[in-house]
Amino acid sequence: MTTVSIIGSGNMGTAIGGIVAAGGNTAQFIGRDTAEQITGEIVVLAVPHPALAEIVATRGAELAGKVVVDITNPLNFETFDGLVVPADGSSASELAAALPDSTVLKAFNTNFAATLASKSVGPNPTTVLIAGDDDAAKQALAGVVRAGGVDAVDAGRLSRARELEAVGFLQLTLAVQEKVAWNAGLALVA
Ligand SMILES: NC(=O)c1ccc[n+]([C@@H]2O[C@H](COP(=O)([O-])OP(=O)(O)OC[C@H]3O[C@@H](n4cnc5c(N)ncnc54)[C@H](OP(=O)(O)O)[C@@H]3O)[C@@H](O)[C@H]2O)c1
């Protein structure tokens, strides 16, 4: 049994927690402003991108040795026309640099919360794309996701987070323009 600690209990935290529990694993929700210790070997940061810096500052030492999952889409909400990370970088690579003693993965950012809850994108199964430099960590997260009834695919090294964040951004713009519904989006057909 794996314990997954989830910081943030909004749309995504709730949906990811549902997958964790559906697979018979344990979800620990960590609220804001709590001294509760993180017990999970996998920690999902289900928070807005600007909150990552605060979590690094307050929880960084505690996250050492853990698999830390960045799910953010680091959108520039002022322009809604780009990301706040450099075009040749990613939120996940910045997080990995800020947490050198953690194993950072990028995952879930290309899935709308509703499709994690329903486990489907239209007629297709929902697939979580996972990028990271540690195969064992990716397999551990994929195992939790698949146990919960959602497909998972290894999308490559952490450097692929740049592409995952671009895809997440594109999907968001399509939803905002009502070209896809928030309970639909991009699916992977193998
Ligand atoms: N929604 C989607 O379909 C979707 C899809 C892909 C990726 N994402 C990404 O997933 C992340 C979460 O999105 P969401 O839709 O779940 O947002 P949300 O519903 O607004 O939930 C955000 C959660 O983060 C918590 N939080 C905010 N700042 C925090 C901090 N400094 N420390 C601890 N907790 C903090 C909030 O707590 P409070 O209630 O106390 O503020 C809330 O529980 C975002 O980065 C988003 O880009 C979302």
3-state SS of the chain: helix, strand, coil percent to 5? Answer: 35, 20, 45
Is residue 68 one of the residues assigned to a domain? Answer: yes
Is residue 114 one of the residues assigned to a domain? Answer: yes
Best residue for ligand 1 mutational test, from 32, 84, 112, 115 (most atoms within 8 Å of Cβ):
32
| pLDDT attached to residue 31 | 94
Mean pLDDT of 166-178: 97
- Which atom of ligand 1 is the closest one to the Cα of 13? 16
Is residue 189 one of the residues assigned to a domain? Answer: no
Please give the full DSSP string across 125-182, using - where no structure is assigned. EPEEEEEES-HHHHHHHHHHHHHTT-EEEEEESGGGHHHHHHHHHHHHHHHHTTSS-T
Residue 83: DSSP 8-state: B
- Which atom of ligand 1 is the closest one to the Cα of 48? 45
Check: CB of residue 168 under 8 Å from CB of residue 109: yes
Q: What is the pLDDT of residues 10-22, one digit of tens each?
A: 999 999 999 999 9
Is residue 183 one of the residues assigned to a domain? Answer: no
Query: Is the beta carbon of 49 within 6 A of some atom in ligand 1?
Result: yes
Domain containing 92: what range?
3-176
Best residue for ligand 1 mutational test, from 9, 12, 105 (most atoms within 8 Å of Cβ):
12
From the CA of 18, how far away is ligand 1's center (Å)? Answer: 15
Query: Is the beta carbon of 109 within 6 A of some atom in ligand 1?
Result: yes
| pLDDT attached to residue 33 | 87
Is residue 182 one of the residues assigned to a domain? Answer: no
Domain count, the chain: 1
Average pLDDT, the chain: 98
Query: Is the beta carbon of 54 within 6 A of some atom in ligand 1?
Result: yes
Is residue 187 one of the residues assigned to a domain? Answer: no
Q: What is the pLDDT of residues 3-61, one digit of tens each?
A: 999 999 999 999 999 999 999 999 999 999 899 999 999 999 999 999 999 999 999 99
Is residue 74 one of the residues assigned to a domain? Answer: yes
Angstrom distance (rounded) from CA 49 to CA 53: 8
Best residue for ligand 1 mutational test, from 5, 6, 11 (most atoms within 8 Å of Cβ):
11
Residue nearest to atom 28 of ligand 1 (CA): 51
Domain containing 41 — which CATH number?
3.40.50.720
What percentage of the chain carries pLDDT values higher than 90?
Answer: 99
Q: What is the pLDDT of residues 80-118, one digit of tens each?
A: 999 999 999 999 999 999 999 999 999 999 999 999 999
